[in-house]
């Protein structure tokens, strides 16, 4: 049996990523068209041109597909956090990782804005959104814990910082969606992160 080459492995991973993205975009399109409560897994799979079984290989449910974009963005922020200088305080590292992310990505993409407005119009999505961020919070708190080491043996401080960081970003997005023409999202979020950091005092 011929061994799989690095090029073939890379192609497989790109195909998987493309399928996952196609399912995510299909879920978002259908939610906009029909309303999230009327979207089914079967409909998402059909919209993306794949089987129901293929959908299950990538996502557990339609909500997971719908919020995949958020999960991907937060994973990128976690990667940037990991690359921050080791001597930065946890809150500074979190803030600078977010600043670097938005500097790379620019303004919020239309998909993120659309998803945010859908959540506001359909409160039932909020619970699924919280679950998405719970997984992200776990990833971020692990990175923060690595910085704190012996200062936080039970991990309480790391979890508080990660949860606070995500709460600031979520709240900033909610406020910005109400006043998109008055301020840039990152200007709002940056100010909120800086103010929160000052309020955290020694905890940060």
Model confidence at 4: pLDDT above 70: no
CATH topology for the 67-203 domain? Tetracycline Repressor; domain 2 (1.10.357)
Tokens of 164: 């606070």
6-63 has which fold? Arc Repressor Mutant, subunit A (1.10.10)
pLDDT tens by residue, 159-178: 999 999 999 998 898 888 88
Q: How many CB atoms lie within 10 A of CB 142?
A: 15
> What ranges do the domains of the chain cover?
6-63, 67-203
- What pLDDT was estimated at residue 73? 85
pLDDT in tens, 120-132: 777 777 777 777 7
- Name which of 111, 167, 104, 102 is nearest 140 in CA terms: 167
- The pLDDT of residue 192 is 95
């Amino acid at each position: 049996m011929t061994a799989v080459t690095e090029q073939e492995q890379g192609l497989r991973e790109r195909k998987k990523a493309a399928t996952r993205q196609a399912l995510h975009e299909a879920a978002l399109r259908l939610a906009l068209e029909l309303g999230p409560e009327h979207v089914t897994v079967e409909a998402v799979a059909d919209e993306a041109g794949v089987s129901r079984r293929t959908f299950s290989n990538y996502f557990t449910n339609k909500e997971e597909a719908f919020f995949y974009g958020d999960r991907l963005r937060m994973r990128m922020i976690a990667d940037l956090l990991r690359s921050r200088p080791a001597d930065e305080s946890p809150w500074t590292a979190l803030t600078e990782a977010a600043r670097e992310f938005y500097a790379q990505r620019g303004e919020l993409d239309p998909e993120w804005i659309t998803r945010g407005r859908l959540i506001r119009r359909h409160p039932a999505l909020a619970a699924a959104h919280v679950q998405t961020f719970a997984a992200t919070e776990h990833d971020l708190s692990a990175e923060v814990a690595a910085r704190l080491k012996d200062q936080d043996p039970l991990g309480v401080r790391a979890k508080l910082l990660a949860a606070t960081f995500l709460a600031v970003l979520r709240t900033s997005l909610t406020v910005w969606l109400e006043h998109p023409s008055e301020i840039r999202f990152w200007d709002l979020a940056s100010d909120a992160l800086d103010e929160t950091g000052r309020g955290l005092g020694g905890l940060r």
